[in-house]
Homo-oligomer: A and B are copies of this chain.
Amino acid sequence: MIHLLAEAGDLARETVEVEGADHRHLFRARRLKVGDRVRLIDGRGSARWSVVDQVTAGRAVLRVEGVAPVFEPARPVALFVSALRPERAAWLVEKATELGLRELQWFVSERTSRSLPARALERQRRIAKSALEQSGGAWLPEIGVPVPLEEAAIGAGSVALHPGAATSFMAVAGSAEAIVVGPEGGFSEREIEELAGRGAVPAHLGPRVLRTETAAVAALAVALTAMS
């Protein structure tokens, strides 16, 4: 099945035009033809079937049809992650989007060693689109430019990964609405206290030291699987 992320409002139209990179992907790489079916997703949790109606060298028209099923987690889960090297950040975005991430907010905390340039965020948004189309998801995760940890919207329902925590992540995974993942050096004790003060529950993912992006993807997989 082929999934295409449509523009805002496209699902309410009778036809949708496809040009540029999407056209090349669908009609050159994937070789779709008139009469083939495409599942249109709007990135906001809805999907509709469509059928290829016309194809020319640079443009195609899809005829929008009935409502298509969506494959979303029972509850949205957000990630708050310490800013990472662009290559590792891109991998996190791809994997987390496939798994069903709803929202990603990068942050900078005491031990975060870098920020993320605007160019890296643009690339992440393109990667998220591809990963969403690849996986058949219907929600395109929003990706927020790095903010100071204190300004990130972390509150009750969040779980902050912390090696020194008494609670195991598994015990809280099924109810986590957001997962907060610190830099390689972890959160400072002051930051963990401050996060706990905002209602986040500190929890550990086991005794190993995981890279930031590994911890984020592993915890998201556990949280989404635990609620299914």
Contact = CB atoms under 8 A, between A and B. Distances in A.
Contacts of A217: 95, 217-218, 221
Nearest to A96: B214
Interface stretch (A48-56, A166-174, A189-197): A166-174
A25 to B, nearest CB: 16
Interface in A213-228: 214, 217-219, 221-222, 224-226, 228
- How many residues of A sit at the interface, in one of the four size bands? 20 to 34
A34 interface: no
Nearest to A100: B208
A218 B99 contact: yes
A174 B203 CA distance: 19
A137 B208 contact: yes
A67 interface: no
Interface of A: 71, 91, 94-95, 98-100, 134-137, 168-170, 173, 205-211, 214, 217-219, 221-222, 224-226, 228
Contacts of A94: 214
6 contacts: A91-B91, A99-B214, A136-B208, A136-B209, A206-B224, A222-B222
Contact of A71 (B98, B207, B214, B228): B207
**Which of A98, A170, A208, A210 has the largest number of chain B CB atoms within 10 A?**
A208
